[in-house]
Structure 1
């Protein structure tokens, strides 16, 4: 009788996915998103080669131009690869992390208060002068956060943190995982720099590089939160969208005298300082020893 260890590898595409699930995921996530973003990039919101634009202004272009590619990329690719490589058991484990809400309230408070505080301090450091945001902006903060959770958070984090990160940490450790996920997460965004999302065709050369550097640093912070909360995906999503929401809803109202380029400068400074502190204090483990497996 052939033992399980001696069972022949599955042939064809299914076999490739089973042998190289993380590699296949990254390739599929990029290709699927970039393909779906083509109309947005080619439209008047981007290169202007196709003479049309999405309805609804800036918000409409985000929801109709950017979001479909975001959903088609990370979350759909993670779902497909998990189903093929790991079957129902793998799908249950993957989906289970999405429902790990039962984490100490201190984590929720820490993220909800800590992200704005860090953002404000980092902006002051790079040269901003703050003012109190208007009541209208403050009223829009929570609805904006909830919208970001079911759009950006749900589209991206089931792929980058829920699928790729646990697998890579098991195989190459936390530092190896950080060195892989961070740059590839940044790379996934690059086509969007040809659109209004990232500044358009005339965007300064340093902005994509600065953004990828931010992704590398911020991924370290997200890894630590993900690991220390027992691999809670909702907390990772909340951390991610808290940065996005503050940048899109509050920042310009608090710092009206600064060009929007300073948003990227500020998040790079804040995430880099936080990542350096975590790498030193955890000795590169980023909370991985404390992961609670279920």
Structure 2
């Protein structure tokens, strides 16, 4: 088993993530919070059953799988690298501002395309938002990002380059959520259309996270904050700030507009490198400006500057 994991670490990781998470999410999907085949309802925590029904599978999927596969495939040195990215907090302050304030603004811009019914947010809502950020960081972000971005993304980038690696990771991240489309997590329904829109959103959102992750010297806290800020905006701010968005599909479309535009801009401006400091597989270095070892060194210097500034 250890030999198989060392030879196919990415495949083993994704198989473990899907298998473990879906196994633990199956009761929630079959309960009255989902298909209703099992006449049982999970207890409410903070006004919802999702925390009780989904958190265990969320943690035992990406987080635990990343730890186990890293330990088997790379041993103690690999675990040290994995842990180092997890605690890489010393980065430029602007990245924290982007994560906490920029992401809600991107989502607001996308939402304004669908609705102009915008309400004011009071001080109490801001305090609730900050409290929600702490909860999101300790739940969805901490459960998922050590797997998707700390384990999978560096390997996919090294093998396929930053853009293609992100495009591969996006759908795999989205389809991991498939059992949730059978539950109250998907409040707008929509079937295959909802899944397709969510997959496109995951790709666009992943481009943004990859860019921030690379530009901060592979800081996982930035990826976690961006993820938490995204979830928190639509769970706390949107119901009050944008009451015109009434179901999951509208929220997904609004997010796709905001992240889609930003992702296209990032791909064009970075020429597909998304802040990646190393050589891109399959790309030949020509004599033109912006290519070759000098460009790679400049990209590394910019990334190091972002971490230390």
How many Å separate the matches in 2 of 1:252 and 1:156? 25
User: CA separation in 2, counterparts of 1:124 and 1:213?
Assistant: 19
Decide which of 64, 73, 93 is 1:85's aligned counterpart.
73
Query: What is the CA–CA distance in structure 2 between the aligned matches of 1:258 and 1:61, rounded to whole Å?
Result: 22
Q: Does 1:127 align with 2:115?
A: yes
- What TM-score, normalized to structure 2? 0.87
Partner of 1:219: 206
Given candidates 92, 99, 108, the residue that maps to 1:111 is 99
Deviations 1:25-68 (A, max 9, x none): 01110111000001100100001011110111674421110111
Note the aligned Cα RMSD (angstroms): 1.7
Name the CA distance, whole Å, in 1 between partners of 2:114 and 2:104: 15
Counterpart-to-counterpart distance in 2, 1:258 and 1:27: 35
What's 1:256 paired with?
243
- What is the aligned partner in structure 1 of residue 291 from structure 2? none
In the alignment, structure 1 residue 168 sits paired with structure 2 residue 156: yes
Task: Give the structure 1 partner of residue 293 of structure 2.
Answer: none
**Correspondence 1:241 to 2:228:** yes
SS of the residue 1:37 aligns to: helix
Query: Are 1:278 and 2:266 an aligned pair?
Result: yes
**Structure 2 runs not aligned, ≥5 long:** 278-298
Q: More deviation in 256-265 or 150-159?
A: 256-265
Match of 2:24 in 1: 36
Q: Secondary structure at the match of 1:161?
A: helix
Further displaced range: 250-259 or 278-287 = 250-259
Q: CA deviation at 1:258?
A: 3.0
When structure 1 is superposed on structure 2, of 260-269 and 77-86 the one drifting more is 260-269
Given that residues 128 and 258 in structure 1 are in contact (C-alpha distance below 8 angstroms), is that contact kept between their aligned partners in structure 2?
no
1:230 to 217, 233, 251: 217
CA distance in 2 between partners of 1:57 and 1:164 (Å): 31
Judge conservation of contact 2:115–2:242 (CA < 8 Å) in 1.
Answer: no
Structure 1 residues 52-201: aligned runs within 5 Å: 52-56=40-44, 59-199=47-187
- Structure 1 distance, partners of 2:101, 2:191, is 32
The structural deviation recorded for 1:204 is 4.1
Q: CA deviation at 1:205?
A: 3.3
- 1:193-219 Cα offsets, whole Å, 9 max, x none, are 00000138x544311111111001110
Corresponding residue of 2:33: 45
Change (3 A) 1:59 1:93: farther
Structure 1 equivalent of residue 294 of structure 2:
none
Match of 1:5 in 2: none
Runs of 4+ in structure 1 over 4 Å off:
57-60, 291-294
Paired residues of 1:134 and 1:253 also in contact (CA < 8 A): no
Q: How many residues align?
A: 281
Q: Deviations over 1:121-143 (max 9, x none)?
A: 11111233211124332220101
The residue number in structure 2 matching 1:24 is 12
- Is the counterpart of residue 268 in structure 1 residue 256 in structure 2? yes
Alpha carbons 2:20, 2:60 under 8 Å: kept: yes
Distance in structure 2 (CA, Å) of the matches to 1:85 and 1:205: 36
